[in-house]
Amino acid sequence: MSQRQLALQSGVDHSTISRLIKGDRMPSLGTATKLARGLREIHDESDGPAYFATLSSRAVLPTTRVEYALRGDESLTEADVRELMQAYISARTRRA
């Protein structure tokens, strides 16, 4: 299944799917649920906990964790998140 097909099946924007696949972003529970439904792994809300319990945890990049935390702050706009991420990445680059 292509990313665009999954986007159509799940209702998740194809650019979001691309960022998730590249590891640039962590899915919210809602997005993960939509994707699982699109892949026909879960059929209703009661299947969700069992499905997500079977997923193995994977290493998450620090930049992904920071972006995920920033996006979880409802008081920040998209522009705020981008600006803060740029500052964070610049600081990491200087220390490397």
- Domain coordinates in residue numbering, the chain: 1-57, 59-96
In this structure, how many other beta carbons lie within 10 angstroms of the beta carbon of residue 16? 19
Return the pLDDT at 33: 81
Q: Determine contact, residues 38/11, Cβ cutoff 8 Å.
A: yes
CA gap 48, 57 in Å, rounded:
16
Tell me the whole-structure pTM to 2 decimals: 0.44
Return the pLDDT at 83: 93
Structure tokens at 61: 């990049």
Rounded average pLDDT per 10-residue block, the chain, 96 residues: 82 90 86 82 58 57 81 86 90 82
User: In terms of residues, how long is the chain?
Assistant: 96
Match 């640039």 to its residue by tokens: 24
Return the pLDDT at 68: 80
Q: Determine contact, residues 7/14, Cβ cutoff 8 Å.
A: yes
